[in-house]
Amino acid sequence: MDHIVIIGNGIAGVTAARHIRKLSDNRITIISAESEFFFSRTALMYVYMRHMKFEHTQPYENDFWAKNRIELVHDYVHTVETAAKKVHLNSGRDIVYDKLILATGSIPNKFGWPGQDLEGVQGLVSKQDLEQLEITAPNNKVCKRAVIIGGGLIGVELAEMMASRQIPVTFLIREKGFWSGVLPRSNADLISKHVRSHHIDLREEEEMAEIIPDDSGKVKAIITKNGETIPCDFVGLCAGVTPQISFLENSGIELQRGILVDRYLETSVKNVYAIGDCAQQREPVGERKPIEAVWYTGRMMGEVLAQTLCGNPTTWNPGHWFNSAKFFDIEYQTYGWVWSTPKEGHAHFNWEHEDGVRAVTVEYDIATRKFIGINTFGIRMKHEIFDQWLTEEKTVDEVMKNLKKACFNPEFFDRPFKEILKNFRSTQHATA
């Protein structure tokens, strides 16, 4: 019987533990200093918005872990000694392992801004971040204005959170159009308009240069690269995340931006594995990025690694890319690949409803008519249908003709789907 030690109790590490227990009698220990019990990180915003309490974010009862013989250690890891197969904790305790899983997640990016470590400056990744937010920005009397830096998914979540407590928000993004490094320009402009419709002061093509402290070491303003001073009581750093791996620098484990792993999710050190946000594929899978800070990929990695550790070697093969998010009231889904600019030989078809909250963008190969991917906004689609269409390499014409079949509730969208198909066919005739 092996002792499997997991550092990190997020979705990747906990999924690995659960599936190892289903498949074996191995001893399992999970180490985390963030929280005593696993919680749903994606629900943090709803705790702040008072839609739920923190305890509601815990999927399992507190006695689940003992019943399943999963030991929980609430502590920080300061070093890993791979030669001796030991994990050294801040408390002074050492834990010996047979196999080690690194599932340490991410921390917010910092780019050397002056003042970036001041009180009132933070990201939104951990339970501790949420707790600090309740101190720094509990209401609009304590926090008279918040400034958010970076136009990603965490940034728009934080803006919505602040708006829920009537805290004025200035939102700085480098791009022209929200998330336009990922989204086609028409989609990015739609999201920018929607964010502004919620009274968010969204500033495009604007960056922060410096954070200014008051006499007590707390943030009192930022200065933009254009020289404008914006008074504020809170600065949200949401310019992406980076793997949390600094404690591994002298471990002998090969690192780049993340922890380098092979297709079996094993590191350069035998019997040491990495999964979730901190894992970096030596060779990216298809068009996927080497590091994917995405909830569902962490879960899938945990399942795959459990198979390998329990005698069924399984390679990491995540299948077709998909993702989803929410921009205030607009639900976004993506299946396959829709690049911000169509790849060579590809084209985009874009449709946007007059209500400004429903839109569809499709990428396809011009010569072969192969369907490459789709973005939808304000229209909920079925994952299994798009997964099947991508596997079967359907043509864009087949997909557009049957798009209504992929909708969760097509009875409410008869007219838009007819309009989408009509517009699509007209663009094809125009370019034929």
Query: Which tens digits make up the pLDDT trace of 317-372?
Result: 999 999 999 999 999 999 999 999 999 999 999 999 998 999 999 999 999 999 99
Q: What pLDDT is stored for residue 432 in this prediction? A: 45
Lookup: tokens for 21: 């227990």
- The alpha carbon of residue 165 and the mean position of all alpha carbons in its chain are separated, in whole angstroms, by 24
Q: What is the mean pLDDT of residues 63-68?
A: 96
In angstroms, the CA 73 to CA 197 distance is 46
Structure tokens at 80: 């890993």
The confidence score (pLDDT) of residue 416 equals 84
What per-residue confidence (pLDDT) applies to 409? 74
Q: Are strands 27-31 and 3-7 parallel, antiparallel or unpaired?
A: parallel
Domains of the chain: 3-107+242-309 (3.50.50.60), 121-239 (3.50.50.60), 322-431 (3.30.390.30)
Q: What is the pTM of this model?
A: 0.94
- Mean predicted confidence (pLDDT) in 119-131: 95
Per-residue pLDDT tens digits for 388-431: 999 999 999 999 999 999 998 766 666 788 899 999 999 886 55
* Bridge partner residues of 212 (DSSP): 221
Nearest to 338 by CA among 385, 376, 300, 378: 376
Mean pLDDT of 218-239: 97
Whole-number pLDDT of residue 418: 87
- Quickly count helices (H) and strands (E) in the chain: 10, 25
Return mean pLDDT, the chain. Answer: 95
Place of tokens 């829709």: 338
Which pLDDT does position 214 carry in this prediction?
95
pLDDT in tens, 268-280: 999 999 999 999 9
Instruction: Report percent pLDDT > 70 for the chain.
Output: 98
Residue 151 pLDDT level (bands cut at 50, 70, 90)? confident
Q: Are 298 and 19 in contact (CB under 8 A)?
A: no
* 189, 330 contact by CB (below 8 A): no
Q: Count CB neighbours of 274 within 10 A.
A: 30
Q: What is the mean pLDDT of residues 43-52?
A: 96
Mean pLDDT in residue range 292-316: 97
Rounded-to-integer distance, Cα 12 and Cα 253, Å: 19
d(CA 105, CA 152): 17
Q: How confident is the model at residue 31 (pLDDT cuts 50, 70, 90)?
A: very high
